[in-house]
Amino acid sequence: MAPLPDEIEAYGLVLRRWRPSDAQAMHDAVVANTDHLRPWMAWIALEPMSVDDRRALVLQWEQAWSEGGDVLLAVWRDGVVVGSTGLHQRIGEGGLEIGYWVDVDHLRRGIATATARAATDLAFTVPGIDRVEIHHDVENLASRGVPAGLGFRDVGEQDSPREERAPAETGRDRMWRMTREDWLSR
Ligand SMILES: CC(C)(COP(=O)(O)OP(=O)(O)OC[C@H]1O[C@@H](n2cnc3c(N)ncnc32)[C@H](O)[C@@H]1OP(=O)(O)O)[C@@H](O)C(=O)NCCC(=O)NCCS
- 33 close to ligand 1 (CB < 6 Angstrom): no
User: Among 149, 143, 150, which Cα is nearest to 107's?
Assistant: 143
d(CA 38, CA 145): 19
Q: Give the per-residue pLDDT at 143.
A: 98
Distances (CA, A) of 90 to 30, 76, 111, 124, 128: 24, 25, 24, 16, 15
Low-confidence ranges of the chain (pLDDT < 50): none
Q: Give the pLDDT score at 19.
A: 98
**Residue 44 in contact with ligand 1 by CB distance below 6 A:** no
CA count, 13 A, side-chain hemisphere, 132: 26
Burial letters 93-127, b for 16+ CB under 10 A, else e: eebbbbbbbbbeebeeeebbbbbbbbbbbbbbebe
Q: Is 85 in the pocket of ligand 1 (CB under 6 A)?
A: no
**Confidence (pLDDT) at 7:** 98
- What is the predicted pLDDT for the residue at 1? 77
Residue nearest to atom 23 of ligand 1 (CA): 142
Ligand 1 atom nearest to CA at 40:
44
Distance (angstroms) between ligand 1 centre and the Cα of 26 equals: 21
- pTM of the predicted structure, to 2 decimals: 0.98
> Nearest residue CA, atom 28 of ligand 1?
145
pLDDT score at 176: 99
Burial of 82 (0-12, 13-18, 19+ CB in 10 A): buried
Q: CA 103 to CA 118: how far, in whole Å?
A: 17
